[in-house]
Amino acid sequence: MSKVKKYTSSNGYTGVLYGKSSLSIKDKDGREILHTGFRNINTYDELVECVETFPQFIELLSGKVKYIRDDFLNHPEDDDF
C-alpha cells in the first residue's frame, strides 16, 4: 500500500498524492479542483511546488479558456480553428 502525501499551502490549496499515480488538488473549502490518475509528481517536494504554483496555473488556464472562447468559439465563421 502506498503512503499518502499531503500538503496544505497558505494559498488555500491542498494537494494529495495517493496510490500509484493519483493526485488530487482541493480548494480551501475541500472541493476537488483537479484529479488525475496519471501523474508525474511523486515526491513531497514536487507536491509542494505543484500546490504553491497552482494559483498561477489556474490563472494561465483561465486566460487560455477566455482566449479560445472569445477568439474561436464566438466566431464560427472563421475557418482557421
66: containing domain: 5-73
- Within 8 A by CB and 6+ apart from 73, the residues are none
Between 15-19, 69-73, 77-81, the lowest mean confidence (pLDDT) is in 77-81
Domain assignment of residue 58, yes or no: yes
Provide the mean pLDDT of the chain: 87
Determine the 3-state secondary structure of 65 from DSSP.
helix
In a domain, 31, yes or no: yes
Residue 81 belongs to some domain of the structure: no
Q: Model-level pTM?
A: 0.75
56-65, pLDDT tens digit by residue? Answer: 999 888 888 7
